[in-house]
Chains A and B, each alone.
Chain A
C-alpha cells in the first residue's frame, strides 16, 4: 500500500471538506494528485490500494461520524438504513427480517461472517467490480483507460450475460440486488449539504454511459442512507444467491423478488437480477411474464425463461442461463 495521511472525520461536513476525489477517479490514468477519498470499513478500498490500483494521498475515515449507523423502521413510512450500518447489523435486525426478507437474506449470504461484521451498506453499494482483469494491476483494461476488455477472449465464466456494451464486468453488490427489487432510494448529501434522493435504479451507471465509474457519486458526495418504502399489505419477498460453493463465495447468479399477491395471484412484482450485467437489473421480461398470473411451477418457470430471452452469454458463461432460470423460478415459488 502507498503511504497516505489519515483523517478521522467527526462530522459529515468535515469529511466532505476533506474529500476531493472518488476512489474510481484514483484508478484512472489521470488520477488527481493529492486525492483524498472516503473510507467506510475499507474492505474494497484497501483491496484496491494493496493491489496498487488506487493510491490516494489521504484517506478520510467516516466510521466515527455519529448517526450514520442507525436503522429505523416505521410501518407507515418504511425502512431507513444508515450508510454505515454493517451487513451483520442488517442480517441481525428482526424488523428487516420480518418486513424485508430479501434484504435480510442478501445481507446474510454476502461474503464471509467476518466481512459482514465490517462491511457497510454504503461501501457495499459503491464497491468496484470484482472482474479479475479490472482487479489486476498488470492489465490495463477498458475500464481503466485502454481499448481492450480482456474478458472477451479470456476467462469470462463469471462475467455478464446481458445489458453490456463492450465491458462485460458484473456489478459486485449483493445488497443492490435486493434493494433494486424493493424500489429503494439512495439518500445522498452533496457538497453543498443538500440532500438528493435517488431511486436506486438511477444510482448505478453502465460502462456504455461512463466506463470509469459504476455509480453517480461525485467527489465528496456522501451516501447517508438507503430508504425502502413501507411494506405493502400482501407483499412478500425472497432472495436467492447461487455460488459455486455452499460456504463463502461470490455469487454466480442472484435474484431478488418482491411480489404483491392476492392469494396465489401475482398482482405486481419486481424481479431483480444480480451478477448478470454491469449494473443490477430489474427484469421487465420476467415481471411482465408473471404479472396477473397465478404463481405455479409452470408460470414461474416461464418467467425465468422470459428473463433469459435477452441473454447473450460469452464463451464460458452460458451455464448462467439455466442457473438464472432456476433461481427465478424458485424465488417466485418461494413467495407463495
Chain B
C-alpha cells in the first residue's frame, strides 16, 4: 500500500462539487481512471473503458489547512497523512479496524483512518493529533495524559487522546463509565487504561 511518489498529470476540468469548495476531489459523480485523469459525469464515462488506476492529486483540509497530495484511489487516509503529509502522529496498529490506534476526526467524528480511503474524504475536515493543540497550548487531555503518565510505548496514545478529547467535546462531565465506553475500541497493549480513564476525568474537571 505504498504510494507512488511520481508526479501526476494535472487533472483537466475539475471545477465540480467538492472541488468548488476547494477541498478534495471526491465530488459525487466523478470517476478516477487511467493515471489520474478525472472524468466528469455523466457525459464522458464509457462502459468499456480500461481502468488502470494511477496516482492522482487531491486537496484535503487537514488541521485547518488545505493540503495538496498525490494518492491512489487505494491509499488509505492513514497512509496519506503519514506518507504524504508526514503527519506521523497518527499510528497504524492493526490496519484492519480492530485497534483504533489510527483514530482521527472527520468533521469532528472519531473515524478510523486505516479503513477510510483518502479519496473519499472530499470536502470534510480532518483533524489529527497534530491539530489538537491550539496556539502552542496543549489540549487539556494531552496535558492530563502527561500529568498522569497515561502513556507507555505511546502507540495507542494519539488514537486514545483523539477519542477522549471527542468525548469531552460532547460530554464535558463524563462518568468513568462514559470514558470506558468511549474508549472501549481503543486497545492498549501496555495496559495504560486505568491511567487513561483517570487522565480523561481529570481533564474534564479542569476544562
Could you tell me which A residues sit within 8 Å of B by CB distance? 1-11, 14, 18, 34, 41-43, 46-47, 50, 57-59, 61, 63-65, 111-115, 117-118, 247-248
**Interface of chain B, helix or strand or loop or mixed?**
loop
Whether A115 lies near B73 (C-beta < 8 A) is no
In whole angstroms, what is the CA distance A98 to B33 when docked? 47
Of the listed stretches B132-140, B177-185, B195-203, chain A binds B177-185
A193 to chain B minimum Cβ distance, whole angstroms, is: 16
Can you list 29 A-B contacts (CB < 8 A)?
A3-B73, A3-B74, A4-B51, A4-B73, A4-B74, A6-B73, A6-B119, A7-B30, A7-B31, A8-B28, A10-B28, A10-B41, A14-B42, A34-B51, A42-B117, A43-B115, A58-B51, A63-B120, A64-B26, A64-B122, A112-B100, A112-B184, A113-B110, A113-B163, A114-B111, A115-B185, A118-B115, A247-B184, A247-B185
A54 to chain B minimum Cβ distance, whole angstroms, is: 12
> What's the tally of chain B residues with a CB closer than 8 Å to chain A?
41
Cβ contacts under 8 Å, A4 to chain B: 51, 53, 73-74
Count, A-B residue pairs, CB within 8 A: 110
Which of A14, A50, A114 meets B163, CB within 8 Å?
Answer: A114
B156 to chain A minimum Cβ distance, whole angstroms, is: 13
Using A10-B41, A247-B184, A248-B184 as known contacts, say yes or no to A5 and B31 having CB atoms under 8 A apart.
yes
**Least CB separation from A1: chain B residue:** B74
Cβ contacts under 8 Å, A18 to chain B: 31
Q: Which 8 A-B pairs have the closest CB atoms?
A: A112-B185, A10-B29, A6-B73, A64-B28, A10-B28, A247-B184, A5-B51, A5-B53
Using A3-B74, A8-B30, A63-B120 as known contacts, say yes or no to A114 and B185 having CB atoms under 8 A apart.
yes
Cβ of B125 under 8 Å from chain A: no
Cβ contacts under 8 Å, B122 to chain A: 64
B84-127 vs A: 1/0 string, CB under 8 Å?
Answer: 00000000000111001001000001111001110110100000
In whole angstroms, what is the CA distance A41 to B114 when docked? 12
In whole angstroms, what is the CA distance A114 to B93 when docked? 15
A216 to chain B minimum Cβ distance, whole angstroms, is: 26
**Least CB separation from A3: chain B residue:** B53
In whole angstroms, what is the CA distance A46 to B120 when docked? 13
Cβ contacts under 8 Å, A111 to chain B: 185
Whether A114 lies near B73 (C-beta < 8 A) is no
B152 to chain A minimum Cβ distance, whole angstroms, is: 19
In whole angstroms, what is the CA distance A3 to B55 when docked? 10
Whether A113 lies near B41 (C-beta < 8 A) is no
Which of B32, B115, B182 meets A46, CB within 8 Å?
Answer: B115
Cβ contacts under 8 Å, A248 to chain B: 184-185, 187
Cβ of B27 under 8 Å from chain A: yes
B73 to chain A minimum Cβ distance, whole angstroms, is: 4
Whether B96 lies near A47 (C-beta < 8 A) is yes
Cβ contacts under 8 Å, A11 to chain B: 29
Cβ contacts under 8 Å, A117 to chain B: 109-111
Whether B97 lies near A43 (C-beta < 8 A) is yes
Cβ contacts under 8 Å, A113 to chain B: 110, 163, 181-182, 184-185
With A14-B29, A117-B109 given, can you name 16 additional A-B contacts, CB distance below 8 Å? A7-B32, A8-B26, A8-B29, A8-B119, A10-B29, A18-B31, A47-B97, A47-B115, A57-B51, A58-B51, A61-B26, A65-B28, A112-B100, A112-B184, A118-B116, A247-B180
